[in-house]
Chain A
Amino acid sequence: MFSSSYKGRLMPVLLASAALALGGAIALPSFAAPDRGQEYFPLQSYRVGPYAAGGTGFFGGFIDYMNLINMRDGGVNGVKLTWNECETEYEVERGVECYERMKTQGNPGPAAMNPLSVGIAYALLDRSTSDKIPLITINHGRTDTTDGAVFPYIFPLLLNPWSEASAMVNYVAQRDGGLDKLRGRKIVVLYHGSPYGRETIPIFALLSQKYGFEVTEIEVPHPGNQQQSQWLQIQRIAPEFVILRGWGVMNPVALKTAQQVGFPADHIIGNIWSNSEEDVRPAGAAAVGYIALTDHPSGTEFPVVQEIIKTVYGANKGNLDDKSRIGSGYHTLGIINGILNVEALRIAQQHFGDKALSGEQVQWGFDHLDLDDKRIAELGATGLLPPIHVTCADHEGAGAVKFQQWDGQRWVTKTGWIQADRKLLRPLIEASANKYAAEHHITPRNCAKTS
């Protein structure tokens, strides 16, 4: 009855459960001390609980990339990468507890925190700043943390929620033949009933005013396993497009309920947390034709993914037990997160020397993270992530996305990189960040003077 993969699958869950039973106790770092020290990446992961599918994929990809760097390159300029995991089950209080336990680990301390949770990230905003540990919220988090003058240690890398909203509207316009064609159109935004889901309400309202389309924003209560009334409302409104800002079970249920009321899947556009294989497979045929935004396309054809398969999985050190998940959306996002963390460390080493660095020093690396097409090609990640240019003032650094369509088996990329309207958004981000600074008595950095 049990397949050969049973033991392999059992092990990480067993370890996670054991860690949980010990109250999140932390194992020793995974590697022996090398000549130039070790750079420590604490992982507040979630391998059990309602969002385990996302957690295992993302943290699996992150660990696979760090393993690749250690096995292929001997670390980053001789500095081995180490990590350990603390199970959060995606719960904020556990995430904070893990943070407190892990922040004193490693020598010279953690390089960065990567909790992959809006709730945990919100809870750590002030702590990570006062502890001088970079907090990475790739593709999520609080939008105004993009303003690095106010939030020097928070990095919503690649795509913040407002850029996501803007890029989605730009895509609809492109599909319709231009921004001027949006006037009079009806768009419904179906969002998850959580701070994450509500983050974009003002931006869609603003974009609808600017471009003249009619927007209706409908909330789906957490966790989203009943949506009939929302979709009946959508049926009555009869919009041209539905923008789906889902998470977890809400995504397949949205697609199935859309099918029930006869709304076409190819007029539903999913956001960055509605774009994985795990979101569409449970919906079966109802998901065929569904379109979702991404900045981390799925696939194993990218050279860096091939190297991970060959070097890491070839040595039987891959983190995913189910190898069919290699190159899935969550896994590639984890690999990209690994690339960004490692490159930030590499850039910081150019400034501070080839040694293990503190969180404060690695923050400098993130503040100067600059990956152009050439560097991305050298990393074997062409097409996997857009060029990113982070500065003291701009902690997002990119804001470009592609759109992909589910064909029933896999995602097929339909567009090149589409940009958000960052000029429109920037003043709003600064206004919100400055308000936060005033409320919390923060003196923003002068980015003109920061080297």
Chain B
Amino acid sequence: MSFFVDVLVGGLLSGVMYSLVALGFVLIYKTSGVLNFAQGAMVLFAALTFVSLTEHKLPFAVSLLVTLAIMVALGWLIERFVLKPLVNQSSITLFMATLGLSYVIEGAAQLLWGTEVHGLDLGIPDTPMQFGSVAISEFDLVAALIAATMVAALTLFFRTTRTGLAFRAVADDQLAAIAVGLRLSHVWAIAWALAGVVALVAGLLWGARLGVQFSLSTVVLKALPVLVLGGFDSIAGAIVGGLLIGAIEKSAEVYIGPFVGGGTEGWIAYVVALGFLLVRPAGLFGQRELVRA
């Protein structure tokens, strides 16, 4: 039983890491209906920029602030020069634009900062802490705390600020939002800038865990089943989806893996997502679209 709890808790905590990436997707999708495939590349860009600045002897806090500014600027530039010219294009066109964008950002990150692997030490120990019979990594706990803080901050932002209200209006009905005088491009620019900030947080935590290297951009692939489960436009869904995917894939690897030759972690999340698409296409918390027949 204690082993099962170990596996379950480990899965839930690793799911939090997926949620961090999924949050960036949700921010963009919620406001513009665009599935931003470049979010993984933004995670890589943020982590690589931060670690390269620290390696150039900039203090931690300064590096963080400079990277934050760069990510905000990057988000703004993407909106201004990629998405704005594509307003009113189909969803698939916008998706393809972000797909292309991901290659450009990955290439630019490597062009600017090189292709070497960098270590990143955030000063958070990654050693086990005992809670009864269950061992939990201190790093995972801090990551979970950061994710919870981000969700709380984003929820407050959406519910209590004028900009947040504008976000919700745009998410609800873009034409109506324009009709009441909201500047769509302004809202989108802020959403992309926020996605850049989320990418930085995810990049730092994933970078500390994996090392800062190209593989960071591939974590985006695990965020997709999280979004299918939680819903593409729900912040709470990103968290719940992440927890579910983490718990399912770890349990499957341990309890089903030995019977099917192992390696279930690579595909089980997508099988679960496929099942969800069949029975609940909008995900657990996603907004269901009602179409008049």
Contact = CB atoms under 8 A, between A and B. Distances in A.
Interface of A: 1, 3, 6, 9-10, 13-14, 17, 47-53, 56, 193, 218-223, 225-226, 228-230, 232-233, 235-236, 248-249, 252-253, 256, 259-262, 278, 281-284, 286, 321-322, 325
Given A49-B214, A219-B261, A282-B117, 11 more contacts: A3-B56, A13-B115, A48-B107, A48-B110, A50-B218, A193-B263, A221-B265, A225-B215, A229-B254, A249-B213, A260-B126
A385 B115 CA distance: 27
Contact of B115 (A52, A219, A220, A282): A52
Interface in B240-293: 249-251, 253-254, 257, 261-267
A48 B265 CA distance: 27
Contact of B116 (A53, A218, A233, A261): A53
B212 interface: yes
Given A53-B213, A219-B262, A230-B253, A47 B115 contact: yes
- 4 smallest CB-CB distances across A and B, nearest first, come from A282-B211, A221-B266, A52-B115, A219-B262
Contacts of B209: 225, 253, 256
B133 interface: no
Nearest to B215: A249
A219 B210 contact: no
Contacts of A262: 127-128, 135
A193 B266 CA distance: 9
Contacts of A230: 253
A50 B11 contact: no
A249 B210 contact: yes
A218 B262 contact: yes
A9 B66 CA distance: 22
Contacts of B140: 260
A228 B135 contact: no
A278 B53 CA distance: 19
A67 B114 CA distance: 23
A229 B266 contact: no
B107 A223 contact: no
A233 B263 contact: no
Given A225-B215, A232-B254, A282 B118 contact: yes
Contact of A13 (B10, B111, B121): B111
| Interface size range of chain B in the complex | 35 or more
A13 B214 CA distance: 14
A283 B7 contact: no
Given A3-B56, A223-B218, A282-B212, A229 B7 contact: yes
A322 B117 CA distance: 12
Contacts of B250: 228-229, 232
Contacts of A3: 56
Given A249-B210, A260-B126, A282-B119, A223 B215 contact: yes
Nearest to B219: A225
Interface in B1-18: 3, 6-7, 10-11, 14
**Which of the listed residues A49, A228, A256 has the most CB atoms from chain B within 10 Å of its own CB?**
A228
Contacts of B222: 226
9 contacts: A48-B110, A52-B110, A225-B218, A229-B11, A229-B265, A232-B3, A253-B209, A260-B126, A282-B210
A151 B106 CA distance: 39
Contact of A284 (B7, B115, B121, B265): B121
Contacts of B3: 232, 236
A322 B210 contact: no
B56 A252 contact: no
Contacts of B6: 232, 235
A39 to B, nearest CB: 29
A218 B257 CA distance: 9
A256 B38 CA distance: 27
Interface of B: 3, 6-7, 10-11, 14, 53, 56, 66, 107, 110-112, 114-121, 126-128, 135, 137, 139-140, 209-215, 218-219, 222, 249-251, 253-254, 257, 261-267
Contacts of B128: 260-262
Contacts of A48: 107, 110, 115
Contacts of B115: 13, 47-48, 52-53, 56
A103 to B, nearest CB: 27
Contacts of B215: 50, 223, 225, 248-249
Contact of B126 (A51, A225, A259, A322): A259
Nearest to B250: A229
B182 to A, nearest CB: 37
Contacts of B265: 221, 226, 229
B110 A252 contact: no
Given A13-B110, A229-B250, A278 B116 contact: yes
Contacts of A325: 116
Contacts of A53: 115-117, 213
B102 to A, nearest CB: 13
Contacts of A232: 3, 6-7, 10, 250, 254
B7 A278 contact: no
A283 B211 contact: yes
Given A232-B6, A248-B215, A1 B263 contact: no
A1 B50 CA distance: 12
A1 B57 CA distance: 10
B263 A221 contact: yes
A80 to B, nearest CB: 29
B211 A322 contact: no
B210 A229 contact: no
B107 to A, nearest CB: 6
A14 B111 contact: yes
A6 B111 CA distance: 9
B220 to A, nearest CB: 12
Given A14-B111, A52-B214, A1 B53 contact: yes
Contacts of A17: 107, 111
Contacts of A51: 214
Contacts of B253: 229-230
A302 B210 CA distance: 32
Nearest to A197: B263
A281 B266 CA distance: 26
**Which of the listed residues A218, A236, A260 has the most CB atoms from chain B within 10 Å of its own CB?**
A260
Contacts of B212: 282
Contacts of B219: 225
A225 B117 CA distance: 14
A230 B135 CA distance: 15
B167 to A, nearest CB: 32
B176 to A, nearest CB: 42
